[in-house]
Chain A
Amino acid sequence: DQQVKQNSPSLSVQEGRISILNCDYTNSMFDYFLWYKKYPAEGPTFLISISSIKDKNEDGRFTVFLNKSAKHLSLHIVPSQPGDSAVYFCAASVEKLTFGTGTRLTIIP
């Protein structure tokens, strides 16, 4: 039972444009949501998070949006840069983290 889903396995975006990565969840008890970024041959690194009491959190080029009624989370990256090419995992927490399946983002120069 996949409680956190990333339905797009891959996404390609032109450099300078906006990248939007999406994540859906089923468990309404999740109280905290995170995005991690993973380069090949490295462990995931924390990118940005949001509490369930908020609907938006911004950090530089990265913004996370939470729509609790739709049980939907999204990560916006603007402008996209070549170094953003990586696999992105969303994660949701109630006592422990549950990760999505990941989306491979490729930024085209």
Chain B
Amino acid sequence: DVKVTQSSRYLVKRTGEKVFLECVQDMDHENMFWYRQDPGLGLRLIYFSYDVKMKEKGDIPEGYSVSREKKERFSLILESASTNQTSMYLCASSLGVYEQFFGPGTRLTVL
């Protein structure tokens, strides 16, 4: 059974803190993605990676960075969290471009 796991379901952080969101997939997929989901805005792509140590900016990369040191793990980093980064964060992986498998999401609140 395919699986994408995210390190936390709920996270509360303070403004200015450095935040790490971890994502692990067990499907040996090349491609991994980070999205955020906000009401009325749908899913927006933050960053993606097609290979280890490789990263590409998505549609809204500002304020975020990523790390992919191993094929199965893709980390999203908020260097200095701000209140407008309060959101649901979703990680996904895929073999090709199309069908992506999503993790359960991390609901991040920045106070």
Interface of A with B (CB < 8 Å)? 4, 6, 9, 32, 34, 41-46, 49, 89, 91, 93, 95-102
Contact = CB atoms under 8 A, between A and B. Distances in A.
Interface residues of B, number: 23
A91 B44 CA distance: 11
29 contacts: A9-B40, A34-B98, A41-B105, A42-B104, A42-B105, A43-B92, A43-B103, A43-B104, A43-B105, A44-B43, A44-B102, A45-B102, A46-B99, A46-B101, A49-B99, A93-B97, A93-B98, A96-B45, A96-B58, A97-B45, A97-B97, A97-B98, A98-B45, A98-B59, A99-B35, A100-B42, A101-B41, A101-B42, A102-B42
The main secondary structure of chain A at its interface with chain B is strand
B82 interface: no
Nearest to A33: B98
Contacts of B43: 44, 89, 91, 99
B105 A99 contact: no
Q: Which of B9, B45, B100, B103 has the most CB of A within 10 A?
A: B100
Contacts of A95: 97
Interface in B55-105: 58-59, 90, 92, 97-105
